Structure 1
Amino acid sequence: MVDFTLKAIARDDLGKGASRRLRRNADMVPAIVYGGEKAPQSVSLEARELKKALENEAFFSHVIKLNVDGKKQDVLIKALQRHPAKGHVMHADLLRVVAGHEVTVHVPLHFINEATCVGVKQGGGIISHTMTDVEVTCLPKDLPEFIEVDMAEIELGGIVHLTDLKLPKGVSIVALAQGADHDLPVANVHAPRVVSDEEDTAESEPKADGEESAE
């Protein structure tokens, strides 16, 4: 399991103008740390260090050691605000982790055995993913880095739902707590689209000048 650590500096210069100056002049990212019994705290993170950490998928579903001016605390990434065009992080929301208190986190899904999937090998099917992550609730000590979705035995036309996922002990899916109608599909194996000769010919042949499509 990977250990993540971020360095942060407490900041008192608040507001949009201060945040812009921080990003522009110091290559830092403004962030807020909240949750638990402590008051929210405004901090700044090193943009380069944050960018490197974000390259690892596990960073989004992992307890992070945040070092604020020498004082350490456990946090989770709760939300990131990115630049609409350039994509870099402009602001981060960090949630304090309190031992014994459940957290709600989006955990990535890892699809395994797709090459040996029954519906693919025997039925010539194609696998489609309808989810790439799932929101779970658990204690911090039980938080998984990812959840596997085993596609080996899924036949052609088969669908994997949330209730089909094998969850680690102590982990529950948020959507399923809302009722059976929230048992959403995660992946499916479907037949490839077949184009008939007539349809293929009709699409490839150019129309004569002035010819209109029949309705």
Structure 2
Amino acid sequence: MKIELSAASRKAQGTGASRRLRKSGRVPGIVYGGGEPVLIDLDHNNLYHLLRKEAFHASIMTLDVDGKKEPVLLRDFHMHPFRQQVQHIDFQRVEASKKIHMKVPLHFINADIAPGVKQGKGIVSHVLNELDVACLPADLPEFIEVDLSNLMLNHSIHVSDLKLPQGVEAAGMHAGEAVVATIQVPRGAAEAAAAAEPAA
């Protein structure tokens, strides 16, 4: 998914200036990394709708600041405590030759045909819903698929079992044997079965 958004550079700083921007339908933000930080502001409605898209949180996007385009990543944003209002947003510039660390969403497939569900009457538990990865910007996937088609009852899929795209590696605490998903019998059903055994 190709995402491009426009921003304007701003000079005014401080709480008062930010409050005025928000009242006018703009969101204050900053772009940093790979050069001087630049203060920016963006259209609130457009930004709010983009933030609701999964790809916006794990994609390299093009940011146009006063006509100058550069690739960036979303790094942070703050919402109003109870209004549907974006308060502030941070972007980081991306260099093609430098590895980036990102959280990428996991998409679970084939849960309905997993033996642990179909035959074992188990329920899939998603331990992780996103994965920390390291890769070059060009290799960043929008999501990673987790195929549950062979998962048995009381078994788990680990990060090391995932088929990661070429050039992408698991990073941080999610590397190695971290559990991604498991299939188990619901607690109530397991207790009922255990209670029925002596009677049988």
TM-score (norm: length of structure 1)? 0.84
1:101 is matched with which residue: 73, 98, 101? Answer: 98
Aligned residues: 192
Other structure's SS at 1:67 match: strand
- Offset at 1:81? 1.2
Paired with 1:30 and 1:127, the residues of 2 have a C-alpha distance of: 41
- Does 1:187 find its partner at 2:181? yes
- Offset at 1:64? 0.8
Counterpart in the other structure of 2:28: 30
1:157-198 Cα shifts (integer Å, max 9, x gaps): 0111111111111111112687x5xx321111000122549x
1:1-43 Cα shifts (integer Å, max 9, x gaps): x11011100000011221111111x21111110001x111110
Other structure's SS at 2:160 match: helix
- Does 1:132 find its partner at 2:129? yes
- Offset at 1:55? 2.4
Does structure 1 conserve the Cα–Cα contact (< 8 Å) formed by 2:159 and 2:174?
no
- Does 1:161 find its partner at 2:162? no
The one-letter amino acid paired with 1:8 is A
Paired with 2:88 and 2:163, the residues of 1 have a C-alpha distance of: 34
Paired with 2:26 and 2:7, the residues of 1 have a C-alpha distance of: 9
Paired with 1:11 and 1:115, the residues of 2 have a C-alpha distance of: 51
Taking a change above 3 Å as real, the CA distance of residues 154 and 184 of structure 1, as seen in their structure-2 partners, is same
- Does 1:76 find its partner at 2:73? yes
Aligned Cα root-mean-square deviation (Å):
1.8
Counterpart in the other structure of 2:141: 144
Counterpart in the other structure of 1:85: 82
Structure number with greater Rg is 1
- Does 1:172 find its partner at 2:164? no
The one-letter amino acid paired with 1:104 is H
Q: Which runs of 4+ in 1 moved over 6 A?
A: none
1:38-58 Cα shifts (integer Å, max 9, x gaps): 111110011111112122211
- Offset at 1:124? 0.4
- Does 1:112 find its partner at 2:109? yes
- Does 1:17 find its partner at 2:16? yes
Identity %: 43
The one-letter amino acid paired with 2:166 is K
